[in-house]
Amino acid sequence: MHASPAIKLSVLTSRIQQALATVFEEQTYWVMADVTSYSYYAQKGYHYFDLVEKDTQAGGMVAKVSGVAWGNGATRIKEFEIVTGQMFRNDIHVLVKVSVSYHPVHGLRITLLDIDTSFTIGLLEQQKQQTLARLLTECADFIRKAGDRYITRNNQLPLPPVIQRIAVVTSNNSAGYQDFLHTLEHNHFGYTFQVEGYFTVVQGEAKAELIQQQLINIYQSGKTYDVVVMIRGGGAQTDFLIFDTFILGRAVAKFPVPVLTGIGHQKNETITDLMAHTATKTPTRVAELIIAHNRAFEESVTNLQQMILIRSQQLCAAHFQALSFLNASVINQARTLVASHKEELNNFNQVILHTASATLSQHQRRLMTLSGMVLSKPRALVAGRLQDLDHQAGRLRSFSRMFLQNKAAQLAHYDTLFKIMSPDNILKRGFAMISLDGKILRDAQTLSPGSQVQIHLQDALLDATITAKNNTHEPGANI
């Protein structure tokens, strides 16, 4: 049994509210603190933030309270930004005038009433700048600054064309790690990844050595990782102070494997982000970056494949057209050759006929002469002339036979040549004839894309449609 009766929570909070109102009512205080977890709602004109105080000697926070500014306080913040040129944001050290209030639902909260414009840079940002300056001084061999960008050994490493083996430094219960895995596993392109977790604490400045040790473990594992991903979920700005430490910035800057960060902050960059190869805002963004990187490589390979395919098709089309033109030229020259030898054969035939007729006429005349001599000379002379006539007739028969055999051999030669050059034999040797509307084409002058042609092969007749035409010779030119 309780010594005193139980009360409702609202009764307790009401008493707390009355007690605090009694102490702090109409009281204001000038407070020095750093701003974190800042957000601004322009439509309502409300500023929400946390004020924190750090122990500069021992490190870590010693105080933290939620704050809000509206009305006159929001106006003073606007004046502060105009006068100092400094946006009211996270990591600035401010001197603000506040009042204290307590709400039963929203709890303890201070309201910003005024802000001293002489405080423009917060303690957290000063420490960050001091750490960056120390990195530049003590690690000059692998960290330098060019303009507003930090050039480190890590961010100068080339990313591999395809990222597959990934080491992840995060906490084992991080929701950001689950988001990272979910995005990789459910990518639209079907990419697969080998992800190995190196789990550690990712909060608290004193725990930076634990993250550094995981980087050492990755290096000493002997495994060839494509990238190292360093992620954590969201949180207040002060939760990210571990990533602004000198020890972690130095380790990331000189790490020999590209480091990608997705620490979960939406507004500012940590020192680890500045030293890493590539910084993103969230774990999901890191996963999307990896997927996009692999997709870019796949698209480049696909584009190269398309270029090779198109070039191959162009070369095949050009050579096919050249082959078709050569086939047409062979057919045309064969026809010309056949016609020429046919005309020559006709000429030889006429020569043979004329020669035989002239020879017969000549011998007929001689025979008539001999007949006259026979009638006018003795029988002996007639017998001698008859013998001469028989001799001449034998020579004539022999000459005619040899002449005819010679011409027959020539005819056989031309017949063989005509058979070799015949279209059927040409088709058997792998050539083809192309016809349009039943007429054999000698050239492609009458063809255009869309023309329907017939391709005559040895054992088939193909119907084809012209899809492209590239002239390789002037129309009518001989090869």
Record the tokens describing residue 33, joined without a space: 């603190």
pLDDT tens series, the chain, 479 aa: 456 788 888 778 788 878 777 777 778 889 988 888 899 998 889 999 999 987 766 667 888 899 999 999 999 989 887 766 567 888 777 889 998 888 888 788 889 999 887 665 455 567 788 899 999 999 999 999 998 899 999 999 999 999 999 999 998 887 888 999 999 999 999 999 999 999 988 776 667 889 999 999 999 999 999 999 999 876 544 457 788 889 999 999 999 999 999 987 655 688 999 999 999 988 999 999 999 999 999 999 989 989 998 888 888 888 888 888 888 888 888 888 888 888 888 888 888 888 888 888 888 888 888 777 666 666 666 677 788 888 888 888 888 888 888 888 888 888 888 877 778 788 878 888 888 887 888 888 888 888 888 888 888 888 888 888 887 765 554 43
**Cα–Cα nearest to 39, from 105, 79, 112, 90:** 90
The model's pTM: 0.48
Q: Are 447 and 475 in contact (CB under 8 A)?
A: no
What per-residue confidence (pLDDT) applies to 85?
53
What per-residue confidence (pLDDT) applies to 59?
65
What per-residue confidence (pLDDT) applies to 436?
85
C-alpha pair distances (Å), 299 with each of 31, 190, 304: 57, 14, 8
C-alpha pair distances (Å), 136 with each of 157, 244, 250, 256: 19, 14, 10, 19
Q: Are 131 and 246 in contact (CB under 8 A)?
A: yes
Q: Rounded distance, CA 242 to CA 232, Å?
A: 11
What per-residue confidence (pLDDT) applies to 392?
85
Q: Are 31 and 73 in contact (CB under 8 A)?
A: no
**Cα–Cα nearest to 156, from 144, 168, 165:** 144
Q: Rounded distance, CA 225 to CA 222, Å?
A: 9
